[in-house]
Chains A and B, each alone.
Chain A
Amino acid sequence: MLLSSLVINGLFTGLIYGLIAVGLTVIFGVMRIINMSHGDIVMLGMYSAWILFEKFGVSPYVSMFLTAPLFFLLGSLIYEILDPIPLKRREMSSLIITLGISFVLATSAMLIFTADYRTVTLPYSQRVIDILGTRLGYPALISSAISLVLMCLFRLFLSRTHIGRAIRATAIDRTSAALLGVNVKRISQATFGAGVVLAGLAGGVLAPIYYVYPFVGSNFIIKAFAVVVLGGMESVTGAIAGGLILGVAEALGGAFLEHSLKDIIVFVLFLGVLFFRPTGLFGGRERNR
């Protein structure tokens, strides 16, 4: 493949990676909680898109918005589990608890749906489009476009709406936000809900272009971490940038490295950034409280 088509492919995949990571980023930004079950929520998004497609023939691009309220509810529920943990212990405890939730979600999916690989084949799944000499499948194109639009909308939501501003204020400084009259608990819960909705939406855009199986989430969680680390910020823009970097790096790596080594790129990027910015994982405000 040509270098340019590798890059273009990587950029389109990168947008989807960005969407997967955005939810993780916003939850971390506001609550300092690393949600280990994020990838499994993406998996749930994929399965719900698959079911609605199989049973009712609804396109994932439509159904993902229909199921969004359920994901909001799920997010709020998970938040309810985490909220009462004392702040001092919360960082580590929530890490381990969400790891447990990840196990619960993945194994439940296994029991309900079995380990079979499922696919969502849309009427236009086989059609391709030519962009600057690169052939791209219709679903991949649509998924990437939707990802980009969703991230931009979410960014607008954060900067333009009242709730969005409250979320940002809480992310910057909980105590001051509370003093300014922000209901920190409600905002945290809403943020968690929103983060989980974004993961669900990411599942929706992934369903037509990826296999659906119970443990698929573990593929995404590592990528999402890598994106967040690369983006280096608790911002949507950072996630988009991180996603694009990862997408391109993977595409190039896949072409030039042996197949089995391709996946190492994600980890090398992840560890590399961690290593050179030891306190700066998600923007380096770790020490500030």
Chain B
Amino acid sequence: MKRSSHRDLVALLLCLGVLSLLPAVIDTRRMPYLFDVLFSVNVAVLLASSWNILGGFAGQVSFGHAGFAGIGAYAVALLPHHLQWSPWLSLPFAGIAAMIAAILVGGIAFRLRGPYFALSTLALAEVARLVVEGWRSFTEGTQGVVIQQKPLYLFEADGALFYITSLWLAGIALLAVITIGQSKSRYFLHAVGESEEAASALGVDAWRCKMSALLPSAFLAGMAGGILALHTGFLDPESAFSISRSVEPIILTVVGGIGTALGPVVGAVILVPACEFLRSRFPTGHLLLYGVLLVVFMRFMHGGILGMVRRKRL
């Protein structure tokens, strides 16, 4: 088992290394659209992996990841706004802010099981949005905040910088997922997800277990929100906390394969470009596709694409 963990790690680093060279081969200024799509794919991998840690490995289905993403986004927007920090340097605080929120969320929502947990996360994300909307003196309310796109030291804030940052953030998310997937805690998370009562009867600290999945999950979701905000350059509560940011990671993970490290990657790599294509032809058509896929996969292909591939091989 040790050996396979090293192998996965080397493969991951190799992939990241090769993919990092892309801007050197293809000029980002000549193909900005391509890099926009790649950026979207990376962020989708990041957000879906974050969801997968909590929803797939720990069995706690969250309907509120938009909340963490939104809080992360506002951290990136407000630190430069109030304290004149560089937007890029505030990026890590997106994750930290979301993690602090997660402590609160865990305190409330982890008292609930299954569907009740899911509903409470949905409500908590909405509460976060309403607080941001209402606290006008601090957040500018519905007016929104503009984020100056400043360069990061010598690097210009262009497609290449966004692409590489998002790529490595997605890499960090995958690293977290692989680490969890190969640690002992994977078993505890699974057990708690299946039956909290049975797990604690055996001595597993269910609350700590769930928290240990929620914190990294929230951190990564916050980072996703943060980098998205930087990329867009503008932020308002409506877009930052948009419900689709809660639903999209669920769809990508379910379609790719829930509870597997590669599931969200497969889902994002296939669906995000497909949706970009659809979006350019029929606006909102991509959302319809999302809905249909979610129903079809949950109902008929529970293991997702990876599950199908695996079954074929056996």
Q: Which of B24-32, B112-120, B216-224, B303-311 contacts A (4 or more CB under 8 A)?
A: B112-120
Q: How far is the CB of B99 from chain A (nearest CB, A)?
A: 20
Which residues of chain A come closer than 8 Å to B61, judged between CB atoms? 92, 95-96
A209 to B127, CA, bound (A): 26
A271 touches B127 (CB 8 A): yes
A103 touches B287 (CB 8 A): yes
Knowing A99-B250, A101-B291, A261-B130, the reply to whether A93 touches B120 (Cβ < 8 A) is no
Q: How far is the CB of B160 from chain A (nearest CB, A)?
A: 34
Q: Which of B175-183, B265-273, B294-302 contacts A (4 or more CB under 8 A)?
A: B294-302
Q: Which of A105-113, A134-142, A159-167 contacts B (4 or more CB under 8 A)?
A: A105-113
Which residues of chain A come closer than 8 Å to B126, judged between CB atoms? 222, 267
A267 touches B130 (CB 8 A): yes
B298 touches A93 (CB 8 A): yes
Of A91, A105, A111, which is within 8 A of B282 by CB? A111
Describe B's contact surface by its main secondary structure.
helix
Q: How far is the CB of B119 from chain A (nearest CB, A)?
A: 6
Knowing A111-B285, A218-B243, the reply to whether A99 touches B63 (Cβ < 8 A) is yes
Taking CB atoms and an 8 Å cut-off, the chain B residues in 17-57 that contact chain A are: none
Of A100, A261, A270, A281, which is within 8 A of B292 by CB? A100
B172 contacts the other chain (CB 8 A)? no
Q: How far is the CB of B239 from chain A (nearest CB, A)?
A: 14
A274 contacts the other chain (CB 8 A)? yes
Residues 249-289 of chain A, each 1 if its beta carbon lies under 8 Å from chain B, else 0: 00000000010110110011011001100110100001000
B115 touches A271 (CB 8 A): no
Of B120, B133, B282, B288, which is within 8 A of A104 by CB? B288
Residues 220-243 of chain A, each 1 if its beta carbon lies under 8 Å from chain B, else 0: 001001000000000000000000
Knowing A92-B114, A264-B134, A270-B123, the reply to whether A101 touches B295 (Cβ < 8 A) is yes
A111 to B287, CA, bound (A): 10
B123 touches A271 (CB 8 A): yes
Q: How far is the CB of A83 from chain B (nearest CB, A)?
A: 10
Knowing A95-B118, A111-B285, A275-B111, the reply to whether A100 touches B291 (Cβ < 8 A) is yes
B284 contacts the other chain (CB 8 A)? yes
Which residues of chain B come closer than 8 Å to A96, judged between CB atoms? 61, 250, 254, 294, 298
B141 contacts the other chain (CB 8 A)? yes
Taking CB atoms and an 8 Å cut-off, the chain B residues in 102-122 that contact chain A are: 108, 111-116, 118-120, 122
Which residues of chain B come closer than 8 Å to A278, judged between CB atoms? 111-112, 116
Which residues of chain B come closer than 8 Å to A95, judged between CB atoms? 61, 115, 118
Query: How big is chain B's contact interface, by range?
Result: 35 or more
A285 to B63, CA, bound (A): 23
B234 contacts the other chain (CB 8 A)? no
Of A110, A260, A267, which is within 8 A of B284 by CB? A110
Which residue of chain A has the shortest Cβ distance to B136 in the bound complex? Answer: A260
Of A104, A111, A264, which is within 8 A of B295 by CB? A104
B299 touches A81 (CB 8 A): yes
A225 to B293, CA, bound (A): 25
Of A100, A103, A258, A260, which is within 8 A of B298 by CB? A100
Knowing A99-B250, A103-B294, A108-B288, the reply to whether A263 touches B130 (Cβ < 8 A) is yes
Which residues of chain A come closer than 8 Å to B127, judged between CB atoms? 264, 267-268, 271
B294 touches A99 (CB 8 A): yes
B295 touches A271 (CB 8 A): no
A81 to B243, CA, bound (A): 24
B243 touches A260 (CB 8 A): no
Which residues of chain A come closer than 8 Å to B63, judged between CB atoms? 99
B299 touches A97 (CB 8 A): yes
Which residues of chain B come closer than 8 Å to A264, judged between CB atoms? 127, 130-131, 134
Residues 30-58 of chain A, each 1 if its beta carbon lies under 8 Å from chain B, else 0: 00001000000000000000000000000
A261 to B136, CA, bound (A): 11
The 7 closest A-B pairs by CB, nearest first: A103-B291, A100-B294, A104-B291, A260-B134, A100-B295, A107-B288, A278-B111
Give me 7 A-to-B residue pairs in the complex whose CB atoms sit less than 8 angstroms apart, sorted by A's number.
Answer: A91-B114, A99-B63, A225-B123, A267-B123, A271-B108, A275-B111, A278-B111
